[in-house]
Structure 1
Amino acid sequence: MKLYYSPGACSMGIHIILEELGKPYELSLVALKDGAQHKPDFLAVNPKSKVPALDRGDGKVLTEFPVIAWWLAKANPAAALIPADLEGEARCLELLDYVCGTIHPQAFTRQFRPGNYTLREEDFPKSVELGKANADKYFATLEKGWAGGTYLLPSGYSVADAALFFVEYWATRRSGLTLPPHLAAHLAAMLARPAVQRALTQEGLAL
């Protein structure tokens, strides 16, 4: 398998899942800051111009974080990275979608790329402010509905935790936000996991 990633991007969540699996894989750097996602070489891999993308090693490529996470979990059942029961799997997918489809774009892309949301440069600070307010609101929603213990789901650690981690990491390392209690404890637990530490070190990121 080969993961197309950019250091510190949402692809770090997939990187963590690959480390949790403990199977051989390669990393292929896509330097988003240099616009590598728009270059012909990467467009041939993923015409959507974004990471993560996963070459499964069978001549096929998967894109979109929730799908890659789900496929890795289902293809490696011994790792127990997704609940085995239908209800648990549905809740896991629900959380993946909320993180990747709502929290990521509406809270953090608004902060990091305000030009995606307004063409007027003078409005960029308002976009950043709204992004931070959204992050607080979405994290409060997760906090209120927290159903697990240390991890998101009552069944324990899953691919949903790898997704939540990347927005928690952005919140605390890049946005200066304070996480509510369950999420703060979750971040600490994630940072203590060897797979997370290995992935962050490989990407040159602070623990």
Structure 2
Amino acid sequence: MANMCLYMAPGSCSTAANILLEEVEEVFEVAVINIPAGENRKPEYLAINPRGTIPSLRLRDGSVLTDLISIAEWLGRNCRRGRYWPADPALQDRARKIMRHVTENVHGLGFARIFVPEAYSCDLEEAAQAMAEGRRIASHALNEAAAMLDEEGYALGAFSVADPILFYVEFWADMTDVPLPPRLLKHYQLMLGRDAVYRVLREEGYDPGRLGKTTESA
């Protein structure tokens, strides 16, 4: 049976899946998809993921998961005896709410405008306005995310699949100078101390020692 294979792009939301695979100590392969070069729209990748998005995870049986939340929940439930997926249904519900909020609001409504403002307008002035709006949306959504977390430690108290998903937008905030609310800054710095996070960041071309010094939001 073949190893799992993660289709990813360094520094993207797929970093969360990369971290999770390291955390659950799975043997897996990595296929880097060069999105600026359009590799995600080539027939070879569309045969794997018809939406052309990343990450995708090919499982050992050949089936493919093409949604970050689905990947996270599958790994949490099926690897390391489910230790990173909460047993309490109420915590499961909260984990899903946190992950959906991150992917749909912080990422989909906020950072998408910051990273690709030209997708919202071909006019340079309007694109700049879209980027500024993205920063406002991301900042507001990050504050909402902070309110969903336990007061101390990881998102649900103990480390879970929700934490790497929170981490990738905290990392983006660090890289784009979007201030993090105090609770998320503490979470981000806690995650930077994990061995799996350190390894993945180094593998993806980043220096973990330069991260985590971002300022808090008021």
Shorter chain as normaliser: what TM range?
over 0.9
Deviation of 1:145 after TM superposition, in Å, equals: 3.9
Tell me by how many angstroms 1:106 deviates.
0.9
Which of 154, 169, 172 is the matching residue for 2:171? Answer: 169
Q: Whole-Å Cα distance in 1 between the matches of residues 150 and 190 of structure 2?
A: 16
Where 2:31 maps in the other structure, the secondary structure is strand
SS of 2:6's equivalent in the other structure is: strand
Is the aligned partner of 1:142 residue 2:145? yes
Q: 1:92 to 1:148 in 2, by over 3 A?
A: farther
Q: Give distance in 1, aligned partners of 2:23 and 2:56.
A: 18
Structure number with greater CO (CA < 8 Å, separation at least 6) is: 1
Shift of 1:33: 1.6
Closer, same or farther in 2 for the Cα pair 1:144/1:93, shift >3 Å? closer
The answer to whether the aligner puts 1:205 opposite 2:203 as a matched pair is no
Counterpart of 1:86 in structure 2 is: 89
| 8 Å contact from structure 2 (residues 192, 198) kept in 1 | yes
Q: Secondary structure at the match of 1:34?
A: coil
Query: Does the C-alpha gap of structure 1 residues 125 and 54 become closer, same or farther in structure 2, counting only changes over 3 Å?
Result: same
Contact 1:5 1:28 in 2 (8 A): yes
Deviations 1:10-56 (A, max 9, x none): 00000000000112000001011211101111111111111000000
Query: How does the TM-score come out when normalised to structure 2?
Result: 0.90
Which residue of the other structure, out of 102, 105, 112, is the alignment partner of 2:105?
Answer: 102
Checking the alignment, whether the CA contact within 8 Å between 1:21 and 1:79 is kept in structure 2 is no
Runs of 4+ in 1 over 4 A off after TM superposition: none
Structure 2 unaligned blocks of 5 or more: 209-218
Q: Which residue pairs with 1:71 in the alignment?
A: 74
Taking the aligned partners of 2:65 and 2:145, their CA distance within structure 1 comes to: 28
Q: Which residue of 2 aligns with 1:124?
A: 127
- How many residues matched? 205
Q: Aligned residue for 1:46?
A: 49
C-alpha deviation, 1:138, in angstroms: 1.0
> Which region of structure 1 is more displaced relative to structure 2, 6-15 or 99-108?
99-108
- Structure 1 residues 145, 22: CA separation in 2 closer, same or farther (over 3 Å shift)? closer
Is 2:186 aligned against 1:190?
Answer: no
**1:169-196, Cα deviation, whole Å (9 max, x unpaired):** 00111x1122111111111111110000
- 8 Å contact 1:104–1:167 — kept in the other structure? yes
| Aligned residue runs from structure 1 range 2-21, under 5 A | 2-21=5-24
Give distance in 2, aligned partners of 1:183 and 1:107: 16
CA contact (8 A) 1:7 1:205 kept: no
